[in-house]
Amino acid sequence: MLTAPNEVLQRTGGRPVSSIVYDEQTIAGRVQELGAAITEYYPDGDLLVLGLLKGSFIFLSDLVRQIRRPLQIDFLVASSYGAQKISSGSVKLLYDPETRLEGKHIMLVEDVIDTGTTLRRLLSLLSARSPRSLSVCALLDKGIMTERPSEIRFIGFQAPKAFLVGYGLDHAEDFRHLPFIADLS
């Protein structure tokens, strides 16, 4: 666990963060709880864990090591922004999983649920491939999604109204490597 302010500055390249929102121990404890809940939720059948890149990769890595059952892992890369700073509302898969989805339990792992535009489109695309079941596990939920799909089953933390970085979350590709989640604002 990080306690010394100079250690935080060292890890952030000297760029200060307002506060550490979730420290390493808190995250590890919650990931362990999520792993146990997922293990219980999927007692049988083929489980495919799909990570939505890039933000979910650290969370997914820790999470799958806490799931006590056989599983497979693959990834998705989706974009709804293109060259714009706001979502176009049109979601394109830039990398489609190579693993066959039909008849499997599919769990999509997401870093943050915000408006849900990308998530709803991905759920529609994945549903069309005839999985046995489809669920979502998200590290953070901003709580702003107006119509929540029933597939959202596992949430790590409610996200505060802040610009969060670390543990896979970035700002201009920086800060993903931090072992904690911090408020950059």
Helices then strands (H, E): number in the chain?
Answer: 4, 9
User: In whole angstroms, what separates CA 30 from the centre of its chain?
Assistant: 13
Question: Which pTM was predicted?
Answer: 0.86
Residue that has been written with the tokens 């491939």 in this structure = 129
Q: Which amino acid, one-letter code, is at 83?
A: A
CA atoms of 16 and 22, how far apart (whole Å)? 16
Class of domain 23-162: alpha beta
Examine the residue annotation and report whether 114 is marked as an active-site residue of this protein.
yes
Sheet holding 164-165, edge to edge: 19-22, 181-183, 164-165
| pLDDT, tens digit (0-9, with 9 covering 90-100), for 84-116 | 434 445 666 666 677 789 999 999 999 999 888
Considering only residues 60 and 117, tell me which one the structure prediction assigns the higher pLDDT. Answer: 60
Q: Which residue in the list 114, 170, 174, 183 is annotated as catalytic?
A: 114
| pLDDT, tens digit (0-9, with 9 covering 90-100), for 160-185 | 988 899 999 988 888 899 999 998 87
DSSP 63-117: HHTT--S--EEEEEEEES-TTSSS--S--EEEE---S--TTSEEEEEEEEESS-H
Integer-rounded Cα radius of gyration of the chain: 17
